[in-house]
A and B are shown apart, each in its own frame.
Chain A
Amino acid sequence: MDQKKLATDLDEAFEDLVAEFRDGLYSGVRRLVPQSVDAEDICADAFLRAYRALSDMPPASIRRLDLAPWLWTIALNLSRNAARRRARKPWVRLDAAWDATAGGGGPESVTLDRAHVESLLEGLPLGQRTAVVLRYIVGLAYSEIAAATERPEGSIKADVHRGLERLRRSEAS
């Protein structure tokens, strides 16, 4: 991502920013919101907010911005709010259960493994899940996750460690 260009010509460079971050953002958000929440909408909203924020930012600040953690701060807030809104509406859980049984394509063995890991991941407490998802599915560095979640790097490392341990343990059982 050419951040100099982003700072000098936001409208021209913003499409490149979307192209660079969309897959990571979508892969991560999908694992952090309930299945009944549309991850694509959350991502679109995150990019829209990012664009508006960048429009109001002096070029020097844009150039200094640590883009990945900054975008993730926005996306994590939106994911959390969406999950909270869903939790207040108990009837949508029915939809979620339905979605879960509907399943996706692919060879069956792969689907099974995948579904297994997915459901284990869903069982993790949000802090650990966020840390594990951002580290291993999105591929952020610990320092970036710390910046995105505004928590100390040590706590993130501990969350990733505990999260992975819990995944392995439940897989074995």
Chain B
Amino acid sequence: MKELEALATKAPASLTPQVLLETGLADGYVTKPGPAQGMFVAFNERGISAIQLGVDANEFEDWFHGAMGRPAFAVDAMPTTLERRFDAAMANGRVGSLPIDWSSMSEFQQLVLRKTAEILPGQVRPYSWVAREIGRPKAARAVGTALARNPVPVVLPCHRVVRNDGHIGNYAFGPEVKRSILEDEGMDVAEFEALADRGIRLTGSDTTKIYCNPTCSDARRTTEKHMVEFHSEDDARQAGYRSCKHCRPAAA
């Protein structure tokens, strides 16, 4: 029956992506406006799984497959709730209720990135701060590696962690991108780096006798007249200052 055999056809190209997305064997992705051209955002039923900046669709798909071991397919839109939460997270600079797919990350990397997500927009902390806060004070280098491999940059704000010497340091998508994200978040990067150049790591107020990370919101409230500068925690303590309970420049 040739006439019948001729009725065999190819399945629509969209069938395989549909199946792999629904089984969770592939992620969907969309492009979003972001801090650099071409922000690709991948997601699955667990949440946001990956973000890359400054790439095209082919580069993103290749990178995703290599990094995650499963394909990602372009879709028309994120699910409505996820999209609303994503847009809110981007607008507020805070993860908030946005679900993240942590499954590709080691326990250590999750710890580092969850801690990093506590740093408010407009502020930065050094690698050593993250290491100490997660109870691994000697692991600053491993913290750096975990941040450099952040699969969900921008949303999980690895850009808010800077070098221990106070310079803003490197970024997976280039230091210029890091600088511009930080400036968009309201940080005066030039002023921060000028302090670092003079060897200043901490600032305090001579009225409260409290010292802070220079970008702490409390430090920024201090007027110039009352601002004091310190090279180290020892300096500050010897001068009779205690550490800020909000930005915790030293363990309490």
Contact A51 B23 (CB under 8 A): yes
Q: Which residues of A contact B23 (CB under 8 A)?
A: 14, 47-48, 51
Q: Which residues of B contact A40 (CB under 8 A)?
A: 11-12, 14-15, 18
Are A22 and B9 CB-contacts (below 8 A) given A15-B25, A117-B4? Answer: no
Contact B19 A47 (CB under 8 A): yes
Interface size grouping (class) on chain A: 20 to 34
Contact B3 A43 (CB under 8 A): no
Q: Which residues of A contact B18 (CB under 8 A)?
A: 40, 44
Contact B7 A44 (CB under 8 A): no
Contact A114 B7 (CB under 8 A): yes
B221 contacts chain A at the CB level, 8 A cutoff: no
B251 contacts chain A at the CB level, 8 A cutoff: no
B1 contacts chain A at the CB level, 8 A cutoff: yes
Contact A27 B20 (CB under 8 A): no
B8 contacts chain A at the CB level, 8 A cutoff: yes
A45-85 contacts to B, CB under 8 A, are 47-48, 51
B6 contacts chain A at the CB level, 8 A cutoff: yes
Contact B11 A22 (CB under 8 A): yes
Main secondary structure of the interface of B (DSSP, over half): loop
User: Cα distance A92–B20 when bound, in Å?
Assistant: 30
Are A117 and B7 CB-contacts (below 8 A) given A14-B25, A15-B25, A40-B12? Answer: yes
User: Cα distance A9–B1 when bound, in Å?
Assistant: 39
A110-165 contacts to B, CB under 8 A, are 113-114, 117-118, 121, 132, 136-139, 164
Q: Which residues of A contact B180 (CB under 8 A)?
A: none
A35 CB to nearest B CB, Å:
14
B104 contacts chain A at the CB level, 8 A cutoff: no
A 77-121 binary contact with B (CB < 8 Å = 1; else 0): 000000000000000000000000000000000000110011001
B1-33 contacts to A, CB under 8 A, are 1, 3-12, 14-16, 18-20, 22-23, 25
Query: Across the two chains, which residue of chain B brings its CB closest to A160?
Result: B1
Partner of A118, one of B7, B16, B19, B22: B7
Contact A18 B3 (CB under 8 A): no
Mark A residues whose CB is within 8 Å of B. Answer: 11, 14-15, 18-19, 22-27, 30-31, 40, 43-44, 47-48, 51, 113-114, 117-118, 121, 132, 136-139, 164, 167
Beyond A117-B7, A121-B4, 4 additional contacts (C-beta under 8 Å) are A15-B16, A18-B15, A27-B9, A114-B6
Mark B residues whose CB is within 8 Å of A. Answer: 1, 3-12, 14-16, 18-20, 22-23, 25, 70-71
